[in-house]
Amino acid sequence: MAEQFKNFIDGRWSAAQAAKTFENRNPANRNDLIGLFPSSSGEDVDAAVAAAKKTFASWRLVPAPKRGEIIFRVGELLRKHKEALARVETREMGKVLKETRGDVQEGIDCAFYVAGEGRRLFGETTPAELPNKFAMSVRTPVGVCALITPWNFPLAIPTWKLFPALICGNTVILKPAEDTPHTAVKFIEILNEAGVPPGVVNLVHGGGEEVGAALVRHRDVQLVSFTGSAAVGREIAAACGENLKRVSLELGGKNAQIVMEDADLDLAVEGALWGAFGTTGQRCTATSRLIVHRDVAKKVTEMLVDRARKIKIGDGLDESVEMGPLINDTARQKVLRYIDIGKQEGARLIIGGAIHDAGACANGYFFQPTIFDQVKPDMRIAQEEIFGPVLSIIEITSFDQAIEVLNGTRYGLSSSIYTADVGRAFRAMRDIEAGITYVNGPTIGAEVHLPFGGVKDTGNGHREAGTTVYDIFSEWKSIYVDYSGKLQKAQIDSVE
């Protein structure tokens, strides 16, 4: 009998109003049914928003240092249960244990980092232009926040959104991806154990069209924070715009790694493999384009192919496995379509390009590490986000051309350059159009105390993590205190 899970609303676990459920299965083994989760509706969203709205009145008055203490306890519990959480993640989304342990560690780091903000959340004091008058700015909470999160980082990304929202005094509704609801349940259990009051954090499972859309359009939701595709992000932005609702979007990427002729090639190839095939290419920061100088292109390609052939594919719960499955069959079929597109465009498939279903992998959504060369910058496989283990090699002849090719997509999330020339490195840092640039490192591997996000179609300008995230989850209020005892008219009175 499959285990049945529930929503978490106003401090209680409850079934969806319609009593419908959906299955959650292990992408490495379709026969492994993890459980049944609620297919929620607008009625469930209404209940969760009502609980969050009611609790906001008291939660916003809890001193920020006290809110920080609760988040710190969450961090301690995440650390205590790190291994168990990693195994839950690997079972339901597929990436290898080393990576899911890293995912949980990001949540731990985020908890401890954000907890400290409870004693900062700095505003500003500034001189007033009139005598006997005081001026300052402070942060205030926004209200009820809807957090719509993806499946590829089922713990880390919710923590990136939820902890800053809570420290600022907001209440939240978390809608996790349908592919990774179990991790969200475990996260809520930890929040509850840490002492987060009922109604502060609510969990509603279900599909984007039912739950996500209802949250986005709900009149009592003041803020929507979404991580996902650019196409869905546009729809959310339009809906929020109709109601002048605050919205933060972290969307897609078509990230590139440049390898110049003076680069450490062993290091560059190691970085490209990790960037392209880590999480089976299912990261918004994944390396999908490798821009290589003509003088070293043949050598780099040979090294990549040799290393890619040795990648062990399988169930991520096996410690020896290096690459797990794609998240579901829809994702695998999408990758297959792009393999055909690449061939039709004239790119040369030099390794992979097919489903991997040998032996124990027969019941999962596995795919071979795939590399194309002879790729032109304007090909679809070099322009569109594939979100799978597919790397396109583009040959260039100069540094300037490399920058032009890297910038030549509608995305601008992460970027990388491998070079021994410090001048080139600094020019790359200046000229690359991306929210993140690595020098002699792969395009993946963000840290929680630096801003995360991108330019162009990668989002709407907001940045998660770092100190910039608090500009998403708080409102600025300017305060003036006049203790002169008389009416003073700013910009009109003259000071004697």
Residues designated as active site: 250, 284
Tokens found for residue 410: 């509608």
**What are all long-range contacts of 392-395, with beta carbons under 8 Å and residues at least 24 apart?**
392/288, 392/289, 392/290, 392/342, 392/347, 393/290, 393/292, 393/297, 393/300, 393/301, 393/304, 394/256, 394/289, 394/290, 394/291, 394/292, 395/292, 395/293, 395/294, 395/297
Q: What is the DSSP string of 331-355?
A: HHHHHHHHHHHHHHHTPEEEE--SB
> How far apart, in whole angstroms, are the C-alpha atoms of residue 48 and residue 69?
25
Q: What gap in Å lies between CA 294 and CA 296, rounded to an integer? A: 6
Angle at 450 between CA 59 and CA 185, to 5 degrees: 45
331, 334, 335, 336 alpha-carbon torsion, rounded to 10°:
120
Name the strand (E) or helix (H) holding 482.
strand 474-482
Burial of 138 per CB tally in 10 Å (0-12, 13-18, 19+): middle
CA dist 213 and 146 (Å) reads 11
Note whether 440 and 266 are within 8 A (CB). no
Rounded Cα–Cα distance for residues 205 and 197 (Å): 20
C-alpha distance across the termini of the chain, in Å? 83
DSSP helix/strand/coil, 273 = helix
Token digits for 179?
Answer: 């592919």
Q: What does each C-alpha distance from 381 to 94, 221, 343, 355, 391 come to in angstroms?
A: 24, 38, 10, 18, 9
